[in-house]
Structure 1
Amino acid sequence: MLPEPAPEWHTTAWLNTPQPLELAQLRGKVVLLHAFQMLCPGCVAHGIPQAQRVAKLFEGAPLAVVGLHTVFEHHAAMGPESLRAFLYEYRVTFPVGIDAPGPDGDPIPCTMRAYAMQGTPTAILIDAQGRLRRQVFGQYDDLLLGAELGALLVEARQSSAAAVDAQAAEGCSDDRCARGP
């Protein structure tokens, strides 16, 4: 079974980034999407610190760490102003999107529903081609996450190198190789 394209994100606002992020903008990079709620004990104790470590350890790699604040309970207590203060207090610097509310009073936010998340924290790995490769609900073992990110980064580099080789071969025939424009 081949990986499926990752669903688009449906957000109402973005924090820690000058402009909204879309998956298409991140093609060529591996994406770690960390879905959380600021009042979720597992998110605060494990998920957010893990995402921060990944952002720091993989700085300079073709990897984007993105947060998704996806609120399915205690809606009134977790608005944008509270989230802004939370991100400041916990020194979260990676971009964080605010999941759009579900339609017609649905308590499950749009992106959470699109990814069929069971709750928070949820870690989602998206490969450099924009395909959903892994989704983990709850605590994600650091070693397993690191190994899976490493494999996706190697895959991304190999895919990038193959594309360069294919592009170079376009100007070649059996008797000559023409240089590009």
Structure 2
Amino acid sequence: MTAEIGQPAPLLSVSDWVQGEPVNFDLLSGRVVLVEVFQVNCPGCFLYALPQAIYLHQHYAEQGLTVLGVATAFEDFDKNNLDNLVRLAESGEVIGETRLALNQRGELSDGCLPYRIPFPLAMDRLNKREDIMTDDVILSFIRARVPDFDQQPDSYRQQIIKQAQRYFQSLSYRAETFERFDLKGTPSHILVDKRGILRDCAFGAYPELETRVLGLLQE
């Protein structure tokens, strides 16, 4: 089942809960649910998305908001894995590009975050990729991400196709929640209303998120 805005949200598919009790949308009826989807090797996730999610948890949990964190992986599988998520949950340790970026900004103490992520954390369910990426699949992937792809010059289209082919060749696993909600990258968020209806899926910075959350809390 692929998620659709305005329809009941499909359940999150996770392999492990490393912090907090196992939970899902079907157990959170009556609450607004924000799922912050991130990779542990993702500087932007830690520079703005996770701090924003922590802020929303701290300010609106008592008003009916549940925030969940799901670590996924669509690249750098040696870093974006369960072991590093456990280290993050237990000690605040960060790795790779995340560590480098936060160190440069003076935001770490001995390689660790100076704060604890306060909401439940889970690892997306990863399955070994065995399917063959056909031309149709690759073109569909590109068209969803490159505006007016078919109207671009042939040389440009061939360049993008080759980049997409290399990207798929580098993938070892499929991340179920990431694909189920058709996410475009990390950080992304999933927003579900009190009735379990999917209201938003967005990739990247989202300054209007607090306003959206407030609106759903008031419904």
**Which TM bucket (shorter chain)?**
0.7 to 0.9
**2-structure distance, mates of 1:121, 1:32:** 13
Are 2:126 and 1:98 equivalent residues in the alignment?
A: no
Superposed CA RMSD in Å reads 1.7
The one-letter code sitting in structure 1 at the alignment partner of 2:196 is G
**Pair member with larger Rg:** 1
The TM-score with structure 1 as length reference comes to 0.78
**2-structure distance, mates of 1:115, 1:13:** 19
Identity of aligned residues (%): 31
Contact 2:5 2:200 (8 Å CA) reproduced: no
Offset at 1:2?
A: 7.6
Structure 2 match to 1:36:
38
Please, which runs of 5 or more residues in structure 1 have no aligned partner? 156-181
Structure 1 match to 2:147:
none
Structure 2 match to 1:61:
63
The one-letter code sitting in structure 2 at the alignment partner of 1:69 is A
The one-letter code sitting in structure 2 at the alignment partner of 1:147 is T
Where do 4+ consecutive residues of structure 1 move more than 4 Å? none
Offset at 1:103?
A: 5.0
**1-structure distance, mates of 2:175, 2:189:** 16
Alignment of 1:159-170 (within 5 A): none
Offset at 1:146?
A: 1.4
Contact 2:31 2:194 (8 Å CA) reproduced: yes
Alignment of 1:124-163 (within 5 A): 124-141=190-207, 144-155=208-219
Offset at 1:102?
A: 3.2
Structure 1 match to 2:100:
none
The TM-score with structure 2 as length reference comes to 0.65
Alignment of 1:9-48 (within 5 A): 9-17=12-20, 19-48=21-50
Contact 2:5 2:199 (8 Å CA) reproduced: no
Please, which runs of 5 or more residues in structure 2 have no aligned partner? 93-112, 131-171
Count of residues in correspondence between the two structures: 152
Offset at 1:86?
A: 1.7
Task: Identify the match of residue 111 of structure 1 among 177, 195, 217.
Answer: 177
**1-structure distance, mates of 2:128, 2:192:** 26
CA displacement 1:53-72 (0-9 Å, x = unmatched): 11111131111000110111
